[in-house]
Every structure is written in structure tokens, then in C-alpha cells.
Structure 1
Amino acid sequence: MPLEKHDLIHEMPESKDAIHALKTGNHHFAKLFDEYHEVDHSVHRIETGAENAGDEDLENLKKQRLHLKDQLSAMIREYES
């Protein structure tokens, strides 16, 4: 079973326009978006075996990714309302 990346556009396709608007118009959102992308990329590399890390490190990265996604999702919902 192939492992999926969890980039925000694929996670929230219905909010593609809002994500684009926030990325270009909100510096804080853009910074969090970039951080989310970097953490997601690291998780994907570990899960595919391209990079080695301990289970605890992987879990910490996944928690960080979830926390960032929660923040970004809240900003998207606020923008869309």
C-alpha cells in the first residue's frame, strides 16, 4: 500500500482558493503553511524509508504536523466564514 503525502491542498481540496488567498495575503499563514509542508515532507521520507528516524521522532513529527494542520484549518475556516 503506497503511503500518501498529506499536503494541505489534497487534505482540503474544497478550500483550495482560500488556501491560495491566505498564502499570498497572510504572512503568518504562509509561514505555518511552509512549516507544515516541511514537516509533512520529513514524515513522508521517514515512512518511505528514504530517511531513518526512531519511532518517537516520527510520532513527534506527526504530532507537530497535526498541530500545524489544526492551526491552518482554523485560519481557513475563519477566512471562509
Structure 2
Amino acid sequence: MSNTPHELAAEFPEFVEKMHELKVSDKHFAKLAEDYHELNRKVHAAETNVAPREELSEVDLRKRRGAMKDEIYAYLKAN
């Protein structure tokens, strides 16, 4: 487990400018990024025991974050 949040800019540094442009010009991507940010904050809060969860719940959050990150990466590559 990491105490460092998985921010999109850190996960995809090569797409920082593109992500900024898409957040402004593409409502779908903006929603995707906001949903990721919200989920990522929940994972980080659980991992740091700010908002503890049962282990299976935390694992589920991390899996959902990974799937969402994959979706964002695919979107970035396609657009």
C-alpha cells in the first residue's frame, strides 16, 4: 500500500498537457477525470487510515481505480 495518492499527472506525465486540454474541451473526459479523482481520494483515505475500511472494501476500491486508470489511458491514446 502506498501513502502517495495516484494523481493522474503523476500516473501519466507524458499526457499532462493533453489531460488539461481535454478537461476543458471534452465533457466526457472531464467527468472521467473527476470520477477518478474522487475514487482516488477514497483509496488514499482508506490506505492512510483517515477513513478506514474493511480490507475487501479497500481492495475493491483499488481495483476500481485501476480499471478507471486503464479507461483514462485508453481515452488519452485514442484522442
Q: Separation in 2 of the partners of 1:60 and 1:32? A: 18
Quote the sequence identity (%): 33
Structure 1 stretches of 4+ with a deviation exceeding 3 A read none
C-alpha displacement of 1:67: 1.0
Unaligned 5+ residue runs, structure 2?
none
| Structure 1 residues without counterparts, runs of 5 or longer | none
Shift of 1:14: 1.2
Equivalent position amino acid for 1:8 in 2: L
Q: TM-score with structure 2 length normalisation?
A: 0.92
For 2:55 and 2:36, how far apart are their aligned partners in 1?
Answer: 20
Q: Let me know the Cα RMSD of the aligned residues.
A: 1.0
Structure-1 residue corresponding to 2:40: 40
Q: What is the TM-score of this pair, normalised by structure 1?
A: 0.90
Report the count of equivalent residues: 78
